[in-house]
Amino acid sequence: MEYRQLGKTDLNVSILGYGASPLGNEFGEIEVAEGQRAVDFAIDHGINYFDVAPYYGRTLAEERLGAALEGKRDKIVLATKCCRYDFDGFDFSAKRVEESIDESLQRLKTDYVDLYQIHDIEFGDRRQVIEEAIPAARKVQQSGKARYVGITGLPLKMLRDVAAEVPVDAILSYARYNLMITDLDDILRPFAVENGIGLINASPLHLRLLTEKGPPEWHSAPDDIKEAGAKVVELCKSRGVSVSDVAMRFCYEYQHAASTLVGMSKQRHVEQNLRVLGTENDAELLAEIAELVAPVKDRIWGTGRVENQD
Ligand code: NAD
């Protein structure tokens, strides 16, 4: 396993990171024992970066991850979040940020997290995120309950502009660098690199669009993006290669992201995503994929408050 430093922090994270949202049934009901096996297998094979949030499964993912990590906490770098608690349930107040950590620590069965992130900042009032939520997360850091502070979300410009006003240690961006889209590299990467902010690239499978199973019901991409994704899946199938393998390789190769965070709840997915490490994509196939994706390349959907969207 290759590890990369997360920005200027002392956290060295595996380039394959474990996204725990599926442990909260976000992609359908899971078998809990299988989720535990997936976590065990990941840790035994060098995956040390784990990302979760109270929102995933409305606290279920934190609870299940906490149970799965018993006795193994010291082997991993653990990131959780605050401020998002339901589909439409947000609270970016300082009070909630300071309370939320204790609830998360209890569920995760630990006394600190390595990274405490303000979740989906585009749903918040920009001034409140800057003036309340992030400073409150810094207070949590000073208390020793979190080692570093980060922000997460979809709109890249807001992530960049907020971090320019109030320093953060890491930024998690999702669905902005994978086979369908690479604008993370244009909009956020220059700022992050210049300022030593760690970058985490989440959703390398474009929230399951780039898998044979296809996107979940709730996937927000418009139809033409979904159709282009389906064509990529078909092309890979016709060449006898796994689309998820191609998609994972594409992200592992992106050196500016410390970790590629993929959601997993099955041991076989952990095995498969590990197997791809250190292997190379076929350049001709990548060129064909780029052609299929071209009509929708770098297109994204809107989330959050209108004024916060890219
Ligand atoms: P993803 O693109 O990682 O897709 C996950 C889905 O793909 C799951 O259904 C999983 O079972 C499936 N999968 C994984 N490996 C596979 C394989 N080899 N073959 C076939 N299917 C496979 O999307 P995601 O889970 O949303 O993103 C990854 C993680 O990043 C999340 O779990 C979460 O921790 C984090 N994330 C954070 C935010 C945020 O903070 N705003 C947003 C999105 C994601």
| 293 CB within 6 A, ligand 1 | no
What's the CATH code of the domain at 100? 3.20.20.100
Comparing CA positions, the residue from 241, 234, 224, 170 lying closest to residue 202 is 170
Active site residue 148: no
Answer whether 78's CB lies under 8 Å from 19's CB: no
Answer whether 250's CB lies under 8 Å from 179's CB: yes
Choose which residue among 14, 261, 266 to substitute to test ligand 1 binding: the one with the highest number of ligand atoms within 8 A of its C-beta: 261
d(CA 124, CA 101): 19
Per-residue model confidence (pLDDT) at position 218? 87
Q: How far apart are the first and last CA of the chain?
A: 35
Reduce the DSSP state of residue 147 to 3 states and report it.
strand
Q: Could you read off the pLDDT tens digit of each residue along the chain, which spans 310 residues?
A: 999 999 999 999 999 999 999 999 998 999 999 999 999 999 999 999 999 999 999 999 999 999 999 999 999 999 999 999 999 999 999 999 999 999 999 999 999 999 999 999 999 999 999 999 999 999 999 999 999 999 999 999 999 999 999 999 999 999 999 999 999 999 999 999 999 999 999 999 999 999 999 999 989 999 999 999 999 999 999 999 999 999 999 999 999 999 999 999 999 999 999 999 999 999 999 999 999 999 999 999 999 999 999 9
| 267 CB within 6 A, ligand 1 | no
Q: How many domains does the chain have?
A: 1
Strands 3-5 and 12-14: antiparallel
Choose which residue among 205, 266, 276 to substitute to test ligand 1 binding: the one with the highest number of ligand atoms within 8 A of its C-beta: 205
Owning domain of residue 197:
3-308
DSSP string, 199-233: EEEE-TTTTTTTSTT---TT----HHHHHHHHHHH
Ligand 1 atom at shortest distance from the alpha carbon of 248: 18
